[in-house]
Amino acid sequence: MRALYAALFCAVLTNQAVAQIGQAQPGEDAAASEKRDLADALARLRQGSPFLADITRISRAGVVQAIPELEKQFAATEDENRKGSIASALVRLGDKGGSYWEYLVSAASPATDTEVPSQEQFDARGIFVPGPSPEFIAWAAAHNQSVDAALRERHRLSEKVLLLGMTGDWRAIPLLRKALLSHDSMTQAFAAQGLLEARDKASIPLIIAACERTPTDAAFGISQHSLLHFDDEQARTAARRFAAAYAATRATK
């Protein structure tokens, strides 16, 4: 659990945002592997049984020919995760109708509620400590929720921020900036990732400020999946600084 943020953010962002399905076969180069995986994803979509990662792969490849089938499956499914993934893909592929965009915004907006305390707790050095924070436990009790139910809801809402950010749509920028103010580190990380997707360099100081407000482990996780990948020296310098602070806490254990 000591490397929670490095592992957790990497796993979620890689699986949902990058969507690497399958592995290259012996003697197969990366381009051929990607082409094969995309073909497999499109085949599963046509069969009506795509993985969530297939939907992401198709949208990132810009396969606009998939739009009619995606729209059909959005209307047919009642699964919240699948519906959100399809809406995100359709917006990324250029849908201008508005309904899919409104669906994503409506789902993600509650995640920006800054009244909810952090579910995470950290020691004096900023290292993650397992278990929900006392403040979060008290908040859940005050709102007549079990801790488990409150945690599931926070995770669900943070994933809505991820799906909104994955559109790469500039219209998401105000809401994503607001999500940076959340006390939930995963919500902050997904908001920062979304601002990277939108190539919003103007938000770099806001992401840096968010990292500076959070404990060392959280700052490392947020920065490595956003600041490090901007084509901007200020952002990359800050990411290296947060990584060095993270490494220093491990060196002194």
pLDDT for residue 52: 93
H or E stretch covering 3: none
Range with lowest mean pLDDT among 5-19, 104-118, 122-136: 5-19
What lies within 8 Å, CB to CB, of 89 at 6+ separation is: 55, 56, 58, 59, 70
Mean pLDDT of the chain: 89
pLDDT for residue 96: 78
Q: Would the pLDDT of 149 be above 60?
A: yes
Using CB atoms within 10 Å of the CB of residue 5, give its burial: 0 to 12 exposed, 13 to 18 middle, 19+ buried: buried
Tell me the pLDDT band of 33, cut-offs 50, 70 and 90. confident
Chain segment 5-29, per-residue pLDDT in tens:
334 443 343 333 333 334 445 556 7
H or E stretch covering 121: strand 121-122
Using CB atoms within 10 Å of the CB of residue 135, give its burial: 0 to 12 exposed, 13 to 18 middle, 19+ buried: middle
How many distinct structural domains can be found in the chain?
1
Q: What is the mean pLDDT of residues 100-120?
A: 93
Share above pLDDT 90 across residues of the chain, in percent, rounded to a whole number: 81
Chain segment 46-91, per-residue pLDDT in tens:
999 999 999 999 999 999 999 999 999 999 999 999 999 999 999 9
Q: What is the mean pLDDT of residues 198-216?
A: 97
The whole domain housing 230 covers: 4-251
pLDDT for residue 250: 86
